[in-house]
């Protein structure tokens, strides 16, 4: 009886969520990488990127596309890596062209990121990353 009265699951309409704190942000990154079905575009400083290596390796082992933009060489079989000057605090992540996470980890407690599955925001970030990748290709930084 209860099941028939229970409301159905709401469809995600693409809201925005502010995530505060380094631990929570890292948890969200892991969640996004773990649930990505096809691809991930990651722009993270090399030092921080290393902490997500196991999740990125799992993605490439499963044949999923992984594109990384970082500041120093990062060896990951099956991934495409582009090198550029990037701010140490900045994080950008897009998974499956559905979800985006962007923000900064300045320190453990003041870190703030915006997460969204809003199609308009995802498209803006996809375009920005695509343009950045094209510029890096022209410069030969991969």
Contact of 39 with 67, CB cutoff 8 Å: yes
Instruction: Give the per-residue pLDDT at 1.
Output: 56
For the chain of 142 residues, list the mean pLDDT of each consecutive stretch of 10: 62 80 94 97 92 96 96 94 86 96 85 94 92 88 60
Using CA atoms, how far apart are residues 82 and 141, in angstroms rounded to an integer? 6
Instruction: Give the per-residue pLDDT at 41.
Output: 96
Instruction: Give the per-residue pLDDT at 96.
Output: 96
Contact of 76 with 68, CB cutoff 8 Å: yes
Residue bearing tokens 């925001």: 121
**Beta partners for residue 137, in sequence order:** none
**Helix (H), strand (E) at residue 136:** helix 119-139
R_g of the chain computed on alpha carbons: 16
Instruction: Give the per-residue pLDDT at 67.
Output: 96
**Helix (H), strand (E) at residue 27:** helix 22-35
Instruction: Give the per-residue pLDDT at 13.
Output: 61
State pTM to two decimals: 0.85
Angle (CA) 88 40 11, round 5°: 115
Which residues, other chains included, contact 45 with Cβ-Cβ below 8 Å and sequence gap of 6+?
70, 71, 86, 87, 88, 89, 90
Using CA atoms, how far apart are residues 91 and 113, in angstroms rounded to an integer? 8
């Amino acid at each position: 009886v209860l099941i028939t009265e229970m409301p159905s699951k709401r469809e995600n309409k693409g809201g925005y969520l502010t995530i505060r704190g380094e631990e929570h942000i890292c948890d969200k990154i892991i969640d996004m990488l773990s649930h990505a079905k096809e691809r991930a575009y990651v722009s993270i400083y090399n030092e921080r990127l290393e902490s997500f290596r196991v999740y990125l390796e799992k993605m490439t082992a499963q044949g999923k596309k992984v594109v990384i933009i970082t500041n120093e060489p990062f060896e990951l079989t099956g991934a495409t890596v582009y090198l550029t000057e990037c701010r140490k605090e900045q994080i950008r992540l897009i998974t499956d062209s559905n979800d985006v996470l962007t923000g900064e980890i300045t320190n453990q407690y003041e870190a703030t990121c915006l997460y969204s599955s809003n199609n308009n925001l995802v498209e803006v970030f996809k375009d920005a990353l695509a343009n950045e990748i094209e510029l890096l290709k022209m410069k030969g930084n991969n």
